């Protein structure tokens, strides 16, 4: 009897031990699975952040990403996928590596949280690419508020296909003829065009029809007005040619760069600039215009034109001369008005945008960042390399 009880007790102990052991093993397996999934979630967080940064691209990583993180990405946690139980947050951290060149280098730390208090952290080193990103469109209406595009007449051509200003097609993929910040502005732009004008806006997504579908697309990843403003501020930190004239006519002495020496030109009159009938802008590089740009004379430009205000091409009733604008590259403006009197050609050109990128000492255009290394903080000593 005693023997039987002892045997039963031993057996029970063995069973209990086995159950505890298997339960621990099961928990361990769960933890391992959660930890692995947490690493994946953290890595996904890094990719998400890099994708967000690369939407508009970067001129200066420190000011446009690190200092503006709360608006660029935000410090809150994001749900990984509905029902997965994982979330992640990403933040820029400073390490010795990126402190050596804060304009071009950075470190991102992603923390992932999962079930059973599972946490994981990864750090990624990112480096600004030397290859500038593309423009959202041949014309980019960088306006978060409703735009009021106006197309009069049929004497304009807006083309998002890549063409070289030296002749022939360029190597880059086509972009939209006109890109906007949101669907409302895309619709407004298309609705502003009449039947005969629809085939004047070509590029990515253009369909000759009939009826033609103009190449007008929404580019939500393009620069917001605030980001564009910041980019302009960055560019103006570089060497540039200022021009304070409010009116550009044949008496104007401003210079606008050449193909051999492209430059950043800053037309700074806050009330906007009028290129009068006898005025002429002929240049290359980046042209930054404050207030608005009205072209009643001639504008021939290769590169990027940024207008912090509306762009208008119309007719000078005094001189009886109509504005003619030819731009190879891209135009970023807050609004657009093409009058029946003027003629306009805006042709996307990666070759011309390369001139813009060379301006002001080089690397002037927003470029994407690339991940150059990715580390799991589980195997990196705590407090080093950006790990917590």
Interacting residues toward another protein by CB under 8 A: 152-157, 163, 165-169, 194, 196, 259, 282, 300, 302, 315, 320, 322, 324, 326, 328, 340-341, 343, 345, 347
Cβ pair 132, 141 in contact under 8 A: no
Q: 72 vs 305, which CB is nearer to another protein?
A: 305
Name the minimum Å distance from CB 246 to another protein: 25
For another protein, the closer CB: 68 or 258: 258
- Which DSSP string corresponds to 200-237? GEESTT-B--SSPB--EEE-TTSPPHHHHHHHHHHHHT
Shortest Cβ distance from residue 241 to another protein (Å)?
20
Residue 165 CB, nearest distance to another protein (Å)? 5
Between 38 and 138, name the residue whose CB sits nearer to another protein. Answer: 138
| Least Å from the CB of residue 77 to another protein | 52
H/E run at residue 45: helix 2-54
- CA nearest to 224, candidates 72, 357, 337: 72
Considering the complex, state which of residue 67 and residue 324 has its C-beta at the smaller distance from another protein: 324
| Percentages (nearest 5) of helix, strand, coil residues in the chain | 30, 35, 40
Question: Given the complex with another protein, which of 234 and 316 has the nearer CB atom?
Answer: 316
**For residue 61, what are its two tokens?**
């990583």
Question: Shortest Cβ distance from residue 150 to another protein (Å)?
Answer: 12
Residue closer to another protein (CB basis): 175 or 352 = 352
Backbone φ/ψ region at 345: left (φ over 0), alpha (ψ -120 to 50), beta: beta
Q: Which helix (H) or strand (E) holds 157?
A: strand 156-159
CA 249 to each of CA 9, 35, 252: distance values in angstroms, whole numbers, following the listed order:
105, 68, 5
Please state the closest distance from residue 223 (CB atom) to another protein, in A: 27
Shortest spacing between CB 308 and another protein, in angstroms: 25
In whole angstroms, how close is the CB of 345 to another protein at the nearest point?
Answer: 6
- The C-alpha atoms of residue 30 and residue 187 are separated, in whole angstroms, by 50
| Least distance in angstroms from the C-beta of 315 to another protein | 8
Of 219 and 353, CB closest to another protein: 353
Is 315:342 a contact under the CB 8 Å cutoff? Answer: yes
309, two tokens: 């205000």
Q: Which is nearer to another protein, 113 or 321 (CB)?
A: 321
Judged by CB, which is closer to another protein: 269, or 319?
319
DSSP 297: S
DSSP string, 300-337: EEEEEEEEEEEEEE-EETTTTEE-EEEEEEEEEEEEEE
Give min distance, CB of 112 to another protein, in A. Answer: 51
- Cβ(265)–Cβ(282) under 8 Å? no
Between 352 and 377, CB nearer to another protein: 352
What residues form DSSP beta bridges with 373? 125
Residue 288 and residue 336: Cα distance in Å, rounded?
16
From the list 151, 186, 154, the residue with the least C-alpha distance to 336 is: 151
**Residue 195: HSE in the Cβ half-sphere, 13 Å Cα cutoff:** 2
State the Cα–Cα distance between residues 265 and 255, nearest whole angstrom: 8
Pairwise CA distance, residues 384 & 148, whole Å: 52
């Amino acid at each position: 009897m005693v023997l039987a009880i002892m045997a039963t007790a031993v057996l029970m102990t063995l069973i209990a031990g086995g159950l505890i052991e298997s339960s621990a093993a099961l928990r361990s397996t769960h933890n391992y699975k959660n930890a692995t999934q947490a690493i994946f979630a953290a890595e996904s967080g890094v990719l998400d952040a890099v994708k967000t940064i690369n939407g508009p691209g970067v001129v200066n990583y420190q000011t446009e990403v690190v200092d503006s993180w709360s608006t660029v990405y935000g410090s809150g946690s994001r749900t990984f996928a509905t029902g997965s139980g994982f979330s992640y947050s990403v933040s820029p951290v400073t390490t010795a590596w990126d402190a050596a060149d804060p304009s071009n280098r950075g470190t991102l730390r992603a923390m992932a949280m999962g079930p059973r208090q599972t946490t994981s952290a990864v750090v990624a080193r990112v480096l600004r690419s030397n290859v500038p990103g593309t423009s959202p469109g041949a014309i980019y209406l960088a306006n978060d508020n409703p735009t009021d595009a106006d197309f009069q007449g049929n004497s304009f051509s807006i083309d998002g296909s890549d063409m070289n200003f030296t002749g022939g097609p360029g190597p880059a993929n086509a972009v939209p003829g006109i890109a906007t910040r949101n669907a409302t502005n895309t619709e407004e732009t298309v609705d502003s065009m009449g039947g005969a004008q629809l085939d004047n806006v070509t590029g990515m997504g253009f369909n000759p029809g009939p009826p033609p579908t103009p190449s007008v697309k929404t580019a939500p990843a393009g620069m917001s007005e605030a980001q564009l403003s910041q980019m302009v501020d960055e560019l103006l930190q570089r060497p540039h040619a200022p021009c304070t004239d409010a009116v550009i006519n044949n008496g104007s002495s401003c210079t606008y760069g050449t193909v051999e020496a492209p430059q950043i030109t800053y037309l700074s009159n806050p009330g906007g600039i009028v290129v009068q009938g006898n005025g002429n802008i002929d240049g290359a590089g980046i042209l930054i215009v404050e207030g608005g740009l009205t072209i009643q004379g001639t504008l021939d430009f290769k590169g990027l034109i940024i207008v912090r205000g509306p762009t208008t091409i119309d007719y000078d009733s005094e001189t009886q001369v109509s504005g003619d604008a030819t731009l190879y590259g891209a135009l970023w403006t807050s609004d657009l008005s093409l009058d029946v009197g003027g003629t306009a050609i805006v042709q996307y050109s990666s070759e011309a945008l390369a001139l813009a990128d060379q301006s002001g000492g080089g690397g002037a255009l927003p470029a994407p960042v690339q991940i150059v290394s990715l580390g799991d903080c589980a195997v990196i000593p705590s407090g080093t390399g950006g790990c917590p």
